Amino acid sequence: MLRFMFVGDSMTIGSAGEHTWRHRMWRHLRDTLGAGEFAVVGPRSALYDKAAGEPLSHDYADPSPDFPRHHLAGWGEGWLHMAPRIAGALARDPADVLLISLGLIDLGFYTNAEQTAENVREFVTRARAANPGIRMVLLPVIPNIRAASDAPFADEVARFNVLLAKTVADLDTGRSPLLLASAPSSYDIGLDTYDGTHPNASGEHKLAGAFADAMAQAWGIGGPYAALTRPTG
């Protein structure tokens, strides 16, 4: 049984009333691997409650008890925050595959491109210390409203994405493979987000599809993401 852990920022934890792309990915894995062939693990389970300003909500759009809500994601958290936490999270909840979407918060508030890339390396080192055979799929920083309106920030994002690709190439090993997913080519912040950054239903599908297609093509896990042809609700 493959154990997956979602690692991310506000786009991954989601907020009250959302499905989250984690839910879309779970449905895809259930459809392609089979319900008994994988598990979703992680030390957290809540959504972010915007009114409270804390991750306190369990008001998922799909209330089904079958949906595993486990994750390691946090509103306002980035590589800087997750690097020190990943070993402990894996010790508590062992995983085989990490699906990681981080970087925007780092570049927006904490670290430049080079410093963020160093934190990626630290994250990988600590994850491998907990599980030397861990697999990781990493998503570049995707289009967002700040990059659309702030040219220096857009340049920083572009520089980090280049460094991220180099880091993945440098650190990839046969025992612990790293995989760089492709940012969804059709991602449109006007159509796929509700505020220029956080994904709406169609954006959730596209983020899940980026991870699913990368794993299917590189590792033969699951299959192509078919839900993009379905209604986005």
pLDDT digits (tens, 9 = 90+) for 89-147: 999 999 999 999 999 999 999 999 999 999 999 999 999 999 999 999 999 999 999 99
Q: For 146-190, how does the pLDDT look when each residue is reduced to its tens digit (9 = 90+)?
A: 999 999 999 999 999 999 999 999 999 999 999 999 999 999 999
Whole-model pTM over 0.95: yes
Q: Which residues have C-beta within 8 Å of that of residue 27, sequence separation ≥ 6?
A: 227
Q: Is 208 helix (H, G, I), strand (E, B) or coil?
A: helix
With CA atoms as reference, report the closest residue to 9 among 92, 98, 104. 104
